[in-house]
Amino acid sequence: MLDTLIKNAVLLPMTAPGEVIYGANVGIKDGKTVFIGRDEAEAASVIDAAGRLVMPGLINAHAHTAMCVMRGYADDYSLKAWLYDKVFPVEARLDERAIVAGAELGIAEMLRFGTTSFSDMYFCQPAVAKAAERIGIKANLCNAVLALGDSYVFEKDRAVIETEELLKEYGAKGPIRADVSIHAEYTSPPEIWRRVHAWAKETGVVTHIHLSETKSEHEECIARRGMTPAAAFAANGVMDTPVLFAHGVWLSGDDMRLIAESSASVAHCPVSNLKLGSGVADVHAMIENGVNVCLGTDGVCSNNSLDLFEEIKLAALLAKGKNLDPTALPAYEALKMATVNGAKAQGREGETGVIAPGYDADIIMINTDAPHLRPIYDPISAAAYSVQGADVAMTMVMGRVLYKDGEWLTLDVEKAVREVEEYAVPIVKGNRN
């Protein structure tokens, strides 16, 4: 007997361009999809998906989830003032309890909007890993190494200690995974990159890095090293193992070819890049050059939501506008970035990102009753251009329903909100000591 049968769906399996299966059933057992099609089978639980869109869960490939505690705290500042005057001082005050509170709120939001897996760079990740594990969402977690100043000692760095803890506990397999991370080219020297890379080589995990987010960062690297940040990472061997680069707003054509030739991916974060005035990444050119481009929200403090459907639509619109070409980044390609390509970037290719037999049942269902979703000529177009995160009616990870019709089944959302507002917000405001 099946564990779950999703019945009569408008199915977007994301296994072939433009493919839609009407009246599809999806059979789920032991956390995996066992069949799609017309078959009927007995199931412990039946989900009626008549008239609803069913598609793979979305993958947020670049987040700082706990930054949810700073939602709307620092808007409309210059990037430098935002980071140095607002974000860094708050982050110096945040303790583990506040970070876990922010992460739980962010996970609640992600599940609400159809995200089933996220790649996250932040602090206190061993504790966040426990929270994600308890709630049931998939996550690739890292704590980025920054090595600034002469007194820096690698072995004593909190990020290093936490990374080693994560690697020991989780590694490169399973729903919760350790990643390793170099914060960015400008926040550590090449000898530190090589030490981070040694972990990746030894364990097979993904290396998560901020890359060429701003024009000044990109140009200052060229002035300092005589090469771009991507070329500098490649020259130091960092791209010999899978790398997930975030942003890539200022990449050159050579950078794109270098990234495509390695097994690296780029997480495009259009909302954050626009909100911080960083620019518009040339996703169309990246794809033309063969780069695996996925999507990320970045932190809520520069977004201010974790709704990947917003990123999907915006990515498509920006690619069209930037190239003066409405055929650039069509709907299916934009959806693929948030599913198939995200899975590849996380090292989860063959595990998630599509709905097909043998894959984990990481599946979302979208309510299409709302006026803004009628009529539907093409479900792929509807999913890319009309659906909003709030239209998600059900989010399932490994066959387990985590969110359905306004209810979170594995997390107390009221408690998560209360914990952020009563415990974390006073720390953000600097009123708690």
- What number of chain residues touch Zn ion (CB under 5 A)? 1
CB-based contacts of 72, cutoff 8 Å, min separation 6: 304
Beta strand residue intervals within 156-242, DSSP E: 176-178, 180-184, 207-211
Q: How far is the CB of 298 from Zn ion (least distance, A)?
A: 5
Q: How far is the CB of 217 from Zn ion (least distance, A)?
A: 12
| Cα angle 194, 199, 201; round to 5 | 85
Q: How far is the CB of 144 from Zn ion (least distance, A)?
A: 9
How many Å apart are CA 58 and CA 249, to the nearest integer? 22
Q: Which is nearer to Zn ion, 162 or 298 (CB)?
A: 298
Q: Which is nearer to Zn ion, 177 or 183 (CB)?
A: 183
Q: How far is the CB of 301 from Zn ion (least distance, A)?
A: 10
244 to 303, contacts with Zn ion by CB under 5 A?
298
Q: Which is nearer to Zn ion, 25 or 341 (CB)?
A: 341
Q: How far is the CB of 193 from Zn ion (least distance, A)?
A: 18
CB-based contacts of 116, cutoff 8 Å, min separation 6: 56, 57, 58, 59, 137, 138, 352, 362, 363, 364, 395, 396, 397
Q: Which is nearer to Zn ion, 119 or 395 (CB)?
A: 119
Contact 138, 362 (CB under 8 A): yes
Q: Distance of CA 418 to CAs 49, 105, 403, 406, 431, Å?
A: 33, 10, 19, 18, 17
**206 φ, ψ (degrees, to nearest 5):** -80, 145
- Which residue has the closest beta carbon to Zn ion? 298
Q: Which is nearer to Zn ion, 109 or 298 (CB)?
A: 298
296 to 335, contacts with Zn ion by CB under 5 A?
298
Q: How far is the CB of 407 from Zn ion (least distance, A)?
A: 31
Q: Which is nearer to Zn ion, 15 or 187 (CB)?
A: 187
Measured in Å, how far apart are the chain's first and last C-alpha atoms?
56
Q: How far is the CB of 210 from Zn ion (least distance, A)?
A: 6
Distance from the Cα of residue 299 to its chain's centroid = 10
Return the sign of the alpha-carbon dihedral for residues 385, 390, 396, 397: positive
Q: Which is nearer to Zn ion, 65 or 395 (CB)?
A: 65
Q: How far is the CB of 194 from Zn ion (least distance, A)?
A: 22
CB-based contacts of 60, cutoff 8 Å, min separation 6: 110, 115, 117, 118, 119, 295, 296, 297, 306, 308, 342
Q: Which is nearer to Zn ion, 128 or 413 (CB)?
A: 128
Contact 174, 144 (CB under 8 A): no
Interface ranges with Zn ion (CB under 5 A): 298
